[in-house]
């Protein structure tokens, strides 16, 4: 009797919470009514959470853009906060459909873990942050230092390589979560905090006294940060990839969420094609024709997203730098929409 009740309870619980998808990720997403997006634990600029639990930030905007493309509604996203340890397993297991959690694309991850790297929505490099009181001007002076790092990241490996290459010693202090790393640095458990430069700036504003620490000039690695999807579903991969490109292309074409309706009335064939207003040459994606319009209208173009999340409109005040458009000397570049 009890056995029966128990198994019945377990079964109902499983059925109630499972969404069995027969085929593609897109079908599953549509059935769910939301894009399940894996994001960081709260991390200023990239994944901010307000007191009500609402999310915003550069990585969040990728999730929202995909939702806008699929549903025509940027709010149809279900966010799941993931630690560095959980992130790839969560994506592999189908717990999330998309991982937008400032993760570095590497050969190993792209080929050995059943994942596909979409492209870099933020080009970054690993750097060091030190307390001003130490009077360190260059990373080469860091021999013998205690270094705080987040465990399970490429950062951890780069750090070891860098110190080994320069014949220096260090004491690694590792933590699972980013705020633990920052806190340990703030409290003096270590001399140096190493991470991607974007994270360093973002960590710095959460220090007790942000002016007490400096980011050193050295950049010791390439860190192209961007979204990942599961390997083996090309349709979904293309939806995510082109959702991101749409934001970049919109900036390229000068379309913003504010002027989009005005631009749509214009005559530029590139813009008309981009917004799905002109026949021919457009995408063969299983989406609404106005998917790109929806993204720009509801989320904004790449520049808007960047400025309000990490740029001048945010406390981080990060310059565009590598993340400027190709025509401004940066690396952000979208293939043509035709």
Partner 1 sequence: MTDPNLSATPQTLSTVPSKPSFWNDPQKRALVFQVLLVIGIGILLWFIFSNTLHNLEKRGIRTGFDFLSRPAGFGISQTLIPYTEASTFGRTFFVGLLNTLLVAGLGIIFATILGFAVGIARLSTNWLISRIALVFIETIRNIPPLLQILFWYRAILPLLPGPKDSMSLAELFYLHKRGLTIPAPLTEPAFVWTLWAVLGALVLAFLIARWAKYRRESTGQQFPVFWTVLVVIIGLPTLVFFLTGSPLNWDIPALRGFNFQGGLTVIPELTALLLALSIYTAAFIAEIVRSGIQSVYKGQTEAASALGLRPNRTLQLVVIPQAMRVIIPQLTSQYLNLTKNTSLGVAIGYPDLVNVFAGTTLNQTGQAVEIIFMTMLVYLVISLVISMFMNWYNKRMALVER
Partner 2 sequence: MVAYVNTETLPSLPPPKGLQGPAAWMRQNLFSNWINGTITVVLVIGILAALIPFVNWAFIKADWVGTSRDDCTSGGACWVFVYVHFKLFMLGLYPEAETWRALLVGGILVLTLAGLMIKGVPLKKYIQIFALFFFPIVAYVLLSGGYFGLPHVETNFWGGLLLTLVIAIVGIVAAFPLGILLALGRRSSMPIVKAICVVFIEVWRGVPLITVLFMSSVMLPLFLPEGMEIDKLLRALVGITLFQAAYLAEVVRSGLQAIPKGQTEAANALGLTYWQGMYKVILPQALKIVIPGIVNSFIALFKDTSLVLIIGLFDLLATIQGAFSNPKWLGYAIEGYLFAALVYWIFCFGMSRYSQHVERSLKTTH
324 binds, among partner 1, partner 2, none (CB under 5 to 8 A by kind): none
Binding segment for partner 1 (CB under 8 A), chosen from 16-24, 72-80, 179-187, 281-289, is 179-187
Smallest distance, Å, CB 210 to partner 2? 9
Among 40, 49, 153, 199, binds partner 1 (CB under 8 A): 153
Sheet holding 192-196, edge to edge: 170-175, 145-150, 192-196, 126-131, 213-215
Smallest distance, Å, CB 37 to partner 2? 12
Smallest distance, Å, CB 135 to partner 1? 11
Under rule CB under 8 A, which residues in 68-97 are in contact with partner 1? 84-85, 88-89, 92-93
Q: Is 234 in the site for partner 1 (CB under 8 A)?
A: no
Under rule CB under 8 A, which residues in 191-230 are in contact with partner 1? 191, 230
- What is the Cα–Cα distance from 223 to 331, expressed in whole angstroms? 13
C-beta of residue 225 within 8 angstroms of C-beta of residue 120: yes
Q: Is 179 in the site for partner 1 (CB under 8 A)?
A: no
Q: Nearer Cβ to partner 2, position 94 or 254?
A: 94
Q: Residue 213 is encoded by which pair of tokens? A: 């620490």
Q: Residue 11 is encoded by which pair of tokens? A: 């079964």
Among 30, 72, 73, 78, binds partner 2 (CB under 8 A): 78
Residue 5, helix vs strand vs coil: helix
C-beta of residue 118 within 8 angstroms of C-beta of residue 224: no
3-state secondary structure 156-218: HHHHHHHHHHCCCCEEEEEECCHHHHHHHHHCCCCCEEEEEHHHHHHHHCCCCCHHHEEECCC
Among 30, 72, 73, 83, binds partner 2 (CB under 8 A): 83
Q: Chain-centre distance of CA 18, in angstroms?
A: 26
C-beta of residue 336 within 8 angstroms of C-beta of residue 248: no
C-beta of residue 198 within 8 angstroms of C-beta of residue 310: yes
Smallest distance, Å, CB 232 to partner 2? 11
Would you tell me which residues interact with partner 2 (CB under 8 A)?
1-3, 5-6, 9, 13-14, 17-22, 28, 41-42, 51-53, 78-83, 85-86, 89-90, 92-95, 176, 179, 183, 186, 205-208
Per CB under 8 A, residues contacting partner 1 are 84-85, 88-89, 92-93, 111-114, 134, 142-146, 151-153, 156-157, 159-161, 164, 170-176, 180, 183-184, 187-191, 230-232
């Amino acid at each position: 009797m009890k056995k029966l009740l128990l198994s019945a309870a377990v079964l109902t619980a499983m059925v109630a919470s499972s969404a069995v998808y027969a085929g593609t990720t897109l079908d599953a997403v549509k059935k769910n009514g939301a894009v399940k997006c894996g994001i960081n634990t709260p991390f200023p600029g990239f994944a901010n959470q307000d007191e009500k639990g609402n999310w915003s930030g550069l990585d969040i905007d990728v999730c929202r853009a995909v939702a806008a493309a699929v549903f025509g509604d940027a709010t149809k996203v279900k966010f799941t906060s993931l630690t560095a340890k959980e992130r790839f397993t969560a994506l592999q297991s189908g717990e999330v459909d998309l991982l937008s959690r400032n993760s570095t694309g590497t050969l190993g991850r792209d080929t050995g873990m059943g994942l596909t790297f979409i492209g870099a929505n933020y080009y970054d490099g690993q750097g060091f942050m030190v307390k001003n009181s130490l009077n360190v001007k260059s990373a080469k002076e860091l021999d013998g230092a205690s270094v705080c790092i987040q465990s399970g990241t490429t950062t951890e490996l780069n750090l070891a390589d860098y110190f080994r290459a320069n014949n220096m010693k260090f004491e690694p202090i590792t933590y699972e979560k980013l705020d633990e790393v920052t806190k340990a640095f703030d409290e003096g458990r270590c001399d140096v905090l190493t991470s991607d430069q974007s994270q360093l700036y973002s960590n710095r504003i959460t220090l007790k006294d942000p002016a007490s620490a400096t980011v050193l000039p050295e950049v010791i690695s390439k860190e192209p940060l961007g979204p990942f999807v599961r390997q083996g579903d090309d349709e979904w991969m293309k939806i995510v990839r082109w959702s991101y490109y749409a934001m970049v292309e919109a900036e390229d074409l000068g379309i913003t969420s504010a002027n989009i309706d005005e631009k749509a009335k214009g005559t530029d064939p590139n813009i008309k094609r981009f917004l799905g207003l002109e026949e021919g040459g457009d995408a063969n994606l299983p989406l609404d024709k106005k998917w790109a319009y929806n993204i720009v209208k509801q989320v904004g173009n790449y520049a808007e997203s960047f400025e309000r999340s990490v740029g001048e409109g945010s406390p981080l005040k990060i310059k565009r730098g590598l993340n400027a458009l190709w025509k401004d000397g940066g690396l952000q570049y979208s293939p043509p929409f035709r």
